[in-house]
Amino acid sequence: MEAQKKLVHVTRMPIRWGDMDAYGHVNNTVYFRYMEQARVEWIEALGIVVRPGGDGPVIINASCTFLIPMTYPGEVEVRTHVGAIGRSSVQTHVDLCIDGKVYAEGAAKVVWMDTRTGKSVPLPDRVRAVLEAG
HSE-CB at 8 with a 13 A cutoff on CA atoms is 27
H or E segment and range at residue 69: none
CA distance 30 to 69: 12
Domains of the chain: 6-132 (3.10.129.10)
- pTM for this predicted structure: 0.91
CB 20 within 8 A of CB 72: yes
CA distance 49 to 57: 10
- Taking 70 as the pLDDT cut, the residues of the chain under it are 1-3, 134
Return all residues near 42 (Cβ < 8 A) that are at least 6 apart: 8, 9, 11, 80
The pLDDT value recorded for residue 120 is 95
The pLDDT value recorded for residue 47 is 84
The single-letter DSSP state of residue 49 is -
Position 131: which residue type?
L
